[in-house]
Amino acid sequence: MTKSFTLAEYLQNLEFLVNIDSGSYTPAGTKKVMEFFQEKFNLLGWNTEIHKTSDKVGPCLQISNCPDEEYDVLLLGHMDTVFPEGTAAKRPYAIDKRAKVTGAGVSDMKGCLLMTYFALKELDQSKKLAGKRICFLLNSDEEIGSLYSRTLIKALAKKSSYALVVEAARPTGDMVNSRSGIASCDLTATGIAAHAGVNPQDGSSAINELAAWILKLHALSNYELGTSINVGIINGGSARNVVAEQAQAQVDIRFKQHSEFERISTALHELEQQSFTAGGAKITCNTILNRPPMNPSPQTLKLCKNISDLGKSLDIDFNWVATGGGSDGNYCAALGIPTVDGLGPVGGGGHSVHEWLDANSVKPRLNLLIKTIEFITNSPVK
């Protein structure tokens, strides 16, 4: 099906991209990745617009084949990784005899961005996008919750009929139509310091208060409903022999339904009104909703069925699954935009030293993405 695509060229470009450090807080690196794609799309004659959202992160790149303010399809991907500077040198691009590609950000999600470029290039050069309106947004801070770019993402989503998130397909080859909502909560415990041996009764331990909260927070999880609370980082105190005057914790909250987030928020507020430690140690919490849940609408489920049928026509079998991880698709789905995720090549091990991408899956998934864009722009889901 593909004409201009060759796996050799894809892998050569992928090596260049993977060997760039582009962590969320490495703006020079994400800018370098952005410039790579800007040059590629400029050569196709597409419009490119740079959005600087914060000095703390690199710029975003908005790419479109038309000057229109509305789009048939919005494609979403991110240029940033979770890794610190120096990771690319320690864990550079590599490929083994089984065509398993490794390296920082190889599947999350540089290989996905690159596949999307080749898909759009193929559609463009075969004149299949004539009269169609496509937008491709490359985000630079997705791994930190799209903290600075979410306003731009929402604005583009509101102008788009459909959203396709080109994150990697699951290791099984499955795609994603449901993602958890994500919230973060920072706990600050304040107590009264005292000598742990001379007059401990005069103190009130911030650590003890934090410990009481941790037990109560984990008890709020409801795995059957997809609600989980994890206290991921704790610290506090000043010395072994001092009743702790301060302590902190960072909490991750995941939920499938917004009503569960409201339940957790109410519980946190109620806990703030109490003290579980003699002497009155207290905790205040700062809760931020990072991403709303991504739940499939009836129109999204119809689109999933259509994509599954397209996959079968290409001898690609997969299922649709839910995942606890978030993506920029969460914002689109919450606005009522039919949104599907995981349309990139098959990969896994994201956020770890074991990250990989299956090079043998690139061409089949490229063809499926092409078919999907063609289908949506020619016969929108009713």
| The pair of three-digit structure tokens given for residue 254, joined into one six-digit string | 């995941």
Helix (H) or strand (E) holding 302: helix 298-313
Distance CA 169, CA 312 (A): 16
- For 306, the token pair is 């259509």
Q: How far apart are CA 170 and CA 308, in angstroms?
A: 15
The catalytic residues are 80, 142
| Burial of 206 (C-beta count, 10 Å sphere; 0-12/13-18/19+) | buried
Two tokens, residue 100: 């398993």
Torsional sign, CA 26, 29, 31, 34: negative
At residue 330, φ and ψ (nearest 5 deg) are: -55, -40
How many CA atoms are closer than 13 Å to the CA of 355, on its beta-carbon side? 23
**Dist CA 43 CA 309 (whole Å):** 34
Give, in order, the Cα–Cα distances in Å from 102 to each of 11, 170, 313, 346, 367. 11, 16, 30, 12, 23
Omega prior to 34 cis, within 30 of 0:
no
What are the start-end ranges of the E strands in the chain? 47-51, 60-64, 71-78, 94-95, 100-102, 134-139, 160-165, 175-179, 181-190, 194-195, 228-236, 242-243, 246-255, 282-291, 320-323, 339-341, 347-348, 356-358
Please name the residue that has the structure tokens 């449901």.
178
